[in-house]
Amino acid sequence: MQASAFSICSIVNFQQFVKVWSAGGRPPFLLFFPQNRFLFLRAYVILKNCTTHYFMQKRKGKTTTMNANDIWLIAGLGNPEAKYDGTRHNAGFAALDSLAGKWGISVSKTKFQGLWGQGEVDGHKVVLLKPLTYMNLSGDSIAPLAGFFKIPADHVIVLCDDITQAPGKLRIRPSGSAGGHNGLKSIIARLGGENFPRIRIGVGAKPRPDYDLADWVLGKFPPEDAKAMADRYPDLEAAAKLIMDGKLGLAQSKYNG
């Protein structure tokens, strides 16, 4: 009986069966042999199980499809010692930690003079990096890692602080000069050009012109500024995803400011 049931399965056009089953109908071959209902009900059950597996695999394939050449590096800039945690200059580190937590990527591997980890985000291969070179030598970590994974410069997204923007404001750019930021200067020098996207995170301007810049960027955020930063992390995440989807212009129009 089992063999006969499988024989019946073999003569049924499977693609036609899939169309009928997916439309909620009853496969027509069950109507052809009413005198052998047990046999054909058995075949019906077997084919039902086959199509369930078929659709599950098809659905699974859609959610896991990924271009093997589509790989991105997102680097958050900062200084490595604990005493710099919560400072304005470590806004990039804090933003990267937020992305890592949201995406479930452990940034704990030690190589390339930094802490890094990799995962998949919406079909993109993603490497997250926190350079441990101190801010002014950030490129010494980013360039070797990008070279190892063969990541082109336009697939390197840099997260860093921006003293020209109010706390929590975002400025997304596809390329450009360092604008006085020593971390960006190092990256431009090591990557050999300015053609990499960056998300600059506002940390606020110096309170007065004669205030020492180093003291300002190495100072810690007051609670209200820290909250303003954290409130923008969902927007920063959405912007990073749009950039990886090739929609940097849309990210700018939606999240700049």
User: What does the alpha-carbon distance between residue 157 and residue 175 come to, in Å, rounded to a whole number?
Assistant: 10
Question: Which residue is catalytic, options 89, 124, 155, 181?
Answer: 89
Binding site for tRNA: what residues are annotated?
84, 134, 136, 182
Alpha helix ranges (H) inside the chain: 2-11, 14-22, 37-64, 91-103, 139-148, 182-191, 213-217, 223-231, 233-244, 248-255
* 89 is a catalytic site residue: yes
β pairing state of 156-162 and 71-76: parallel
Which residue(s) pair with 71 in the sheet? Answer: 125
In angstroms, what CA-CA distances link 77 with 61, 131, 161, 196, 235?
36, 7, 8, 14, 18
Binding site: what residues are annotated?
84, 134, 136, 182
Give the sign of the dihedral formed by CA 24, CA 30, CA 31, CA 32. positive
| Positions marked catalytic | 89
